[in-house]
Amino acid sequence: MNEMPTLSEPNATPGSAVKTAPQAADQPAGRAPTLLEQLQKPMSIAVIVLAVLLAAQSWSTSKQIRNLREEVAKRLQKGDVSNAETGVLARNVQEGTKELQIKVGALENRQSETQSQQLALEQLYNDLSKNRDEWALTEIEQVLSTASQQLQLAGNVPGALIALQNADRSLSRSDKPQFITIRRAIGRDMEKLKALPSVDSTGVALRLDAVIAQVDSLPMLSDETPALPAAPEKPGKAKPVRDASGKLMGPPAPEPLLQKVRDGFNTWSGDMWADVRQLIRIRRVDTPEALMLSPTQSYFLRENVKLRLLNARMALLSRNETAFRNDLIAAQDALAKYFDTRAKSTQTAQALLRQVQGSNLAIEMPTLSDSLTAVRNYKAKS
């Protein structure tokens, strides 16, 4: 009989124990069971329990796997839906991004244009700031040159003063010490102009205008008409006679016939003598040709006098004293020769012309050379 492996043998396997079980059954019934035989039954039960547990575990695991698969499938479906929605949103975002990129590109183009314009403006401003003093001096030089020409040609002293004051005000806005020399020269020229004697050119021109307006209404020697005789008193009714107390003394006595005849003759002779006096008039005239002017000649004579006065006014404004005096003398001679100097209007016109002729225009005007020289020297140095 083969020997059974003991528990102390480490290499014993369950299969060997199972194989020895029938052999133990062949043993006689009277022999006591060994330790292996005592352990076979619990081991079998343990194996069965283990198998049941493994089956239960396997079933539970398969069930969990199945539930997990279902849940994963549901989540995958939800993920697909979310992915679809995300794709739609992504496409919308891409389209919006493209539009934004287009707008950003347009804004960048505008920004570049704005920057270029800003650079151009800054460059222009820098150029202007650099040349501002030069331009200001050039403008002041032009103003002073124009004022000097008007001062010499027309004697426009107020205009020259205004030009100098504006130039000094423009230079005062700059705090550069180099402009002090120019301002001093301008101040000297201003003092020269203020020291000049004043000529009332406006008042003289107004007097000339008044005489020009009166020329058409001045009486001439050629158009003088004879004075009408005074109307004789017509004989009326006899006035009643009153006493010292004012009471009526009765109707006056009727005039006799001889007295009426005498009164009628006196009235008739007086009328005849007045008519005769109007036919023959004696008047002393130094220029007989003034009485022989026709209406056409009288019209042109008045126009000639007005032209003379207008020329005198223009000579006054241009400071041409010689032409001014000659035109005034010619106008005064025409008034004295062809117009009635006994009329009040003619005497008024002659008085105005004498006042105008007394005006002194022979004033030597200074030049603005100091100011112009200072400005030009500063421009030449800079």
Quick one: 335 and 207 in the same domain?
A: yes
Q: What's the pLDDT score for residue 24?
A: 45
Q: Identify whether 370 is part of a domain.
A: yes
Quick one: 377 and 293 in the same domain?
A: no
Q: Identify whether 35 is part of a domain.
A: no
CA 46 vs. chain centroid, Å, equals 114
For residue 141, the one-letter residue type is E
Model pLDDT for residues 24-57, shown as the tens digit of each residue: 444 444 455 576 666 777 788 888 888 888 888 8
Q: Identify whether 92 is part of a domain.
A: no
Q: Identify whether 263 is part of a domain.
A: no
Quick one: 308 and 356 in the same domain?
A: yes
Quick one: 167 and 297 in the same domain?
A: no
Q: What's the pLDDT score for residue 288?
A: 62
Quick one: 331 and 217 in the same domain?
A: yes
Quick one: 203 and 310 in the same domain?
A: yes
Quick one: 347 and 371 in the same domain?
A: no
For residue 364, the one-letter residue type is E
Q: Identify whether 167 is part of a domain.
A: yes
Quick one: 371 and 349 in the same domain?
A: no
Quick one: 316 and 218 in the same domain?
A: yes
Q: What's the pLDDT score for residue 33?
A: 59
Number of separate domains in the chain: 2
Question: CATH number, domain at 155?
Answer: 1.20.120
Q: Nearest-CA neighbor of 357 among 336, 334, 332? A: 332
Model pLDDT for residues 168-187, shown as the tens digit of each residue: 888 887 767 777 888 888 88
Quick one: 293 and 376 in the same domain?
A: no
Give the Cα separation of 324 and 315 in Å (integer). 5
Question: Residue 264 in contact with residue 312, Cβ under 8 Å?
Answer: no
User: Looking at residues 350-377, what average pLDDT do you find?
Assistant: 79
CA atoms lying within 13 Å on the CB side of residue 307: 6
Other CB atoms within a 10 A radius of the CB of residue 378 amount to 17
Q: What is the pTM of this model?
A: 0.42
φ, ψ (nearest 5 deg) of residue 242: -120, 155
Structural domain span for residue 142: 132-198+366-381
Q: Identify whether 148 is part of a domain.
A: yes
Quick one: 214 and 350 in the same domain?
A: yes
Model pLDDT for residues 246-305, shown as the tens digit of each residue: 555 555 555 577 777 788 888 888 877 777 666 655 556 566 666 667 788 888 989 999
Q: Identify whether 117 is part of a domain.
A: no
Q: Identify whether 40 is part of a domain.
A: no
Give the Cα separation of 348 and 45 in Å (integer). 166
